[in-house]
Structure 1
Amino acid sequence: MNGWLLAAGITALAVAAVHVVAGHRDVVSPLLSCGLADEPKRVLHAVWHMVSVDLLLSGLGLLYLAVANGTPGTGLVAWFVAAHFVAYAAAFLVVTLSVGWPGPLLRLPQWILLLPVAFLAAAGAA
């Protein structure tokens, strides 16, 4: 068993849970009740669900990789998941820093949840 990948999987599943609970309260509910046209509103709603599924499948995949440690391709897939979470974190940082908010790093703190998964997955892949 690969402890790093196990920790990454558990952390990713926790991130998925936070995304579903807090994201629904703080993002989805206000989005669905705003005056945005129906088509873009529903596209954004679908994208939120896609991210929910992606986070869940990534967490489950990391748990599988932890158990299947040593199987050919495990390291490559773990590196891919690590890169995936780095890219998600980078997207939040770029968007947050490009707005010009004071104290921007905590306005959209999702990157703080995403980077630990990336680091743990990378450690398990190495």
Structure 2
Amino acid sequence: MNGWFLTAGITAAGVAATHVVLGHRDVVRPLSSSGLADEPKGVLHAVWHMVSVDLVLSVAALVHLALADDTSTTRLAAWFVAAHFLAYAIAFLVVTLSAGWPRPLLRLPQWMLLLPVGALTAAGAV
């Protein structure tokens, strides 16, 4: 068993749960009641659900990788998951740092949840 992948999977499960619960409360509900046109509102709502599915599937992939035999295929899959979480973290950092907000790193703290999953997965793939 790969403990790095298992830890990444458990952390990713926490990220997914946080996304579903807090994201629904803090993003989906306000978005649904906003004055935004229906089409962009619908697209953003669908994208939120896509991210929810993506996070849950990543949990499943990480738990599977934790329990699988170490092969070149599992390493490739692990690097894909690591890159995916690191890219998400970078996207949030770029957006928040370019917004010009005071205390920007705390304004959109999602990167703090995504970065550890990417780092733990990368550590397990080495």
TM-score normalized with structure 2 length: 0.98
Task: Tell me how far 1:13 sits from its aligned partner.
Answer: 1.1
1:57-106 CA-partner distances (Å, limit 9, x unpaired): 01110000000031441111101100000100010001101110011000
Q: CA RMSD in A?
A: 0.7
Structure 2: stretches of 5+ with no match in the other structure: none
Query: After TM superposition, what 4+ stretches of structure 1 lie above 6 angstroms from structure 2?
Result: none
Distance 1:105 1:63 in 2: 30
Match of 1:57 in 2: 57
Identity across the alignment (%): 75
Query: Which residue of structure 2 lines up, in the alignment, with residue 18 of structure 1?
Result: 18
Task: Return the alpha-carbon distance in structure 2 between the equivalents of residues 14 and 57 of structure 1.
Answer: 13
CA deviation vs aligned residue, 1:21-68 (integer Å, no higher than 9, x gap): 000000000000000000000000000000000000011100000000
Mapping of residues 1-126 of structure 1, within 5 Å: 1-126=1-126
Report how many residues are paired.
126
Alpha-carbon separation, structure 2, partners of 1:107 and 1:16: 19
